Amino acid sequence: MTADFAGFVGIDWSGARGPRQPGIQLAEARPGHHAPRTILADDGRHWGRDTVHDWLIARADAAGVAGTGPVLVGIDFAFAHPFVDAGAYYPGLAGSPPDAAALWGFVEQRCQTDPHLYGGAMFAASEVGDYYLSPKNHGAPHYRSRRRRTELAARASARAPSPTFKAIGADNVATGSMAGMRLIHALKAALGRRLAVWPFDRVDGAGAPSLAMVLVEIFPSYYFHRVGMNPAKNAAADPGFMSAALAAYGSEGVGADFAPRGSDADEADAIISAAALRWFAGKAGCWEAPPDAAKEGWIFGVPAKT
């Protein structure tokens, strides 16, 4: 990616039901070395998926008007399900989506009656519910602990998220990812060619000058573990810990009074992600992903394994 980014936005995401989620946190890093700044919700309290959607569109519009270059946005959810291991997102399902864009539309079609981009309807959908390990389907007959290639690579270099079909427990990935796929579908409809979703879309060469926003998948815990720091038990709430982690990504630290919002120091996840996005974006190798990523996506910053 040769374009200069005007900003680097890290978003700690949530798939929880309801109009607002305390766990959603946003932070933006600007070019340079200053610590990322937290972006407060419009009500001064909590973001919701709808307000994140609206904010992203407004941010893309502002970038286009200012002509300052696109914004790089990282969001913490799986952009697609595993595909390569079984040759399909939903093995054995007639009409299983053939690619990521079709998967996003597939999810939206089954969840469109739920407000606030909630994605839980997928777990009760007649044709795919049995693929998800969910609160009402602990014995899901088609559930498998499948892994995307990027998750295997992340595990080899630091830490990996849980399987994308897992919708129970503290490490539930599926609920947030279903909501996130609805978000991508909506952003694509609103922004068209001004939005690139990496690595599914080209972010360089032909068409790149028209981009206002580039969206990438992130995994905040990976960014901590990658530099030898474990954020478990709210360790990232400690200013010294957080500043040391930020320094590993070429960023200034937080103040001595740093007290991250969110029950699980979610604000810290957004901040470290924004700093990591800025650090990785200038490294050519981080824009390279193996061919499998065209179906499954890739966590930004994880070394490609070919």
Residues 144-196: pLDDT tens digits?
Answer: 999 999 999 999 988 999 999 999 998 899 999 999 999 999 999 999 999 99
Per-residue confidence band for 1, with pLDDT thresholds at 50, 70 and 90: low
Tokens linked to 119: 């994605």
Return the pLDDT at 204. Answer: 79
Long-range Cβ contact pairs of 231-238 (< 8 A, separation 24 or more) = 231/265, 231/268, 231/269, 234/264, 234/265, 236/260, 236/265, 236/268, 236/269, 236/272, 237/265, 237/268
pLDDT at 53 over 50: yes
Higher pLDDT, 8 or 203: 8
Helix axes 49-66, 174-191, angle to 10 degrees: 40
pLDDT for residue 265 is more than 60:
yes
Task: Estimate the crossing angle of helix 239-247 against helix 266-281, to 10 degrees.
Answer: 10
Torsion of CA 182, 21, 151, 124, to 10 degrees: -50
The Cα–Cα gap between 134 and 95 comes to 23
Does residue 224 surpass a pLDDT of 50?
A: yes
pLDDT for 263: 81
Residue 114 has pLDDT above 90, yes or no: yes
Report CA torsion sign: 227, 233, 234, 235: negative
Sign of CA dihedral 176, 79, 301, 292: positive
- pLDDT averaged over every residue in the chain: 94
Instruction: Please state the pTM of the whole predicted model.
Output: 0.96
Q: Which of 44-58, 239-253, 255-269 has the least mean pLDDT?
A: 255-269
Q: Which pLDDT score, from 0 to 100, does residue 4 have?
A: 85
Per-residue pLDDT at 264 exceeds 90: no
* Tokens at 302, concatenated: 């994880």
Query: How deeply is 109 buried, as exposed, middle or buried, from its count of CB atoms within 10 A (0-12, 13-18, 19+)?
Result: exposed
Number of neighbours of residue 255 by Cβ within 10 angstroms: 10
Question: Does the pLDDT value for residue 260 go beyond 50?
Answer: yes
Class of domain 7-80+177-296: alpha beta
Alpha carbon distance 105, 103 (integer Å): 5
CA nearest neighbour of 281 among 42, 6, 40, 12: 6
**Contact of 254 with 6, CB cutoff 8 Å:** no
Q: Please provide residue 73's backbone torsions phi and psi, each rounded to the nearest 5 degrees.
A: -120, 125
Q: Mind spelling out the 3-state secondary structure of 172-210?
A: CCHHHHHHHHHHHHHHHHHHHHHEEECCCCCCCCCCHHH
pLDDT on residue 210: 83
Does the pLDDT at position 66 exceed 80? no
Cα separation of 164 and 151, whole Å? 10
Residues 276-284: what's their mean pLDDT?
94
